[in-house]
A and B are shown apart, each in its own frame.
Chain A
Amino acid sequence: MKPELIRDRILAALPGSEVEVRDTTGTGDHFEARVVSPAFTGKSMVDQHQAVYAPLEDVLKTGELHALALKTYAPEQWQKWVERNRK
């Protein structure tokens, strides 16, 4: 499947997020995504990941989407990440 499709689904489920999806193997079934969402504030990382997997449950089940590695951040967590990695 196309990364744009994954991105659209995540965005629909988590409006106002910043979503970046990358095909890691070039085979259209292994992806990684970075999602920064205001909905993640105060949520545990498991809850954050589950919120991203939820709108993709059907394609994860069928295997059309085989793997989606996630990096999720609330905006303030993302800010910290940026500061830590700035040089």
Chain B
Amino acid sequence: MIDDALKTRFDTEIKANKIVIYMKGNALFPQCGFSARAVELLKPFGPLHTVDVFSEPGVRDGIKEYSKWPTIPQVFINGKFIGGSDIVTELAERGELEALVKG
């Protein structure tokens, strides 16, 4: 079970930052192709707040439970869970990312 402190941390983090990516590695050195792709696709739309799930072990399982989504990376825009790298890729192809960021 995800504890209250962790839940509060996620709540605060995704509210305080327009684009949040829970990923493997960081924006400069992604350590997984899917995480790298999410970063590349979102970079044009503003500053990214990235969280490295490797450097914070509790976060890796915690975020999966928080969003009810089984894989990393996970993207949140304007406080809402958007999806993983497939969904972000699809939204980019449809040209819908910008509208999501503008909210």
Contact = CB atoms under 8 A, between A and B. Distances in A.
Nearest to A73: B94
A46 B83 contact: yes
Interface in B75-103: 80-83, 86-87, 90-91, 94
How many interface residues does chain A have, given as a range? Answer: 10 to 19
Contacts of A71: 90
Interface residues of B, number: 11
* Chain B interface main SS type: mixed
B54 interface: no
Nearest to B86: A69
Interface of B: 68-69, 80-83, 86-87, 90-91, 94
Interface of A: 44-46, 49-50, 69-71, 77, 80-81
17 contacts: A44-B80, A44-B83, A45-B83, A45-B90, A45-B91, A46-B69, A46-B81, A46-B82, A46-B87, A49-B83, A49-B87, A69-B86, A70-B86, A71-B90, A77-B94, A80-B94, A81-B94
